[in-house]
Structure formats: structure tokens, C-alpha cells
Amino acid sequence: MLKHRLFNMLILIALVLVIALTVQEAAATAGMMSEADPRKGIRSLACASLPSRYSIHTVYNEESAMSLPYTEDDPTGVDGGLIYLLSNYRICSK
């Protein structure tokens, strides 16, 4: 009888612990979602990290005989980078 009662107590403690951790994670997720408001939080941090729109310029590369778009940081035309950059500007301007 003692083993049965001890087993039930361990199951109860494990169940309470799992419920407590689930509630904690749900509260943390709700807090993150409230910060994802377009006027503040995660989106504004991503928008602040974009290079200046006025820094986009083209540079003629003699080796490839092409004009490539650059920003103040790096070239943007790698793997659709310019299209990605311009779509982020459009999202951030809303």
C-alpha cells in the first residue's frame, strides 16, 4: 500500500510540475506576441537594423562587366538580396 501511495504522489508532483512549466511558457509566449505590435517591439528592432534607403547605389564591376547594387554595408544583389531589402522597407513603412 505504501508503494502505491508513493507512486501516486510522484505522479502528482510530476503532473503539477508539467502544468506549471506549461503555464510559464504560455505566459512568456503571450508576452512576446504583445511585443510584436507593428508600432513597437520585434518589428521595430528589425526595421531599425536596415541600412539607410538612401545608401542603395550601383557600382560597376569590371570583372563581371555588370553594375551591381550596393548599400553602405555590402552588395545587395546576392541571392535576391535587393528584392528582399526593398520588401522589408515596404513592410517597415506601414
pLDDT per residue as tens digits for the range 35-72: 555 555 556 666 766 777 777 788 888 888 888 888 77
pLDDT, residue 52, reads 72
Mean pLDDT of 78-82: 66
Mean pLDDT of 8-32: 88
pLDDT, residue 12, reads 95
pLDDT above 90 covers a percentage of the chain that reads: 19
Asked if 69 and 56 touch (Cβ cutoff 8 Å), the reply is yes
Residues 6+ away with beta carbon under 8 Å from 56:
69, 70, 71, 76, 82, 85
Q: How far is CA 48 from the centre of its chain?
A: 13
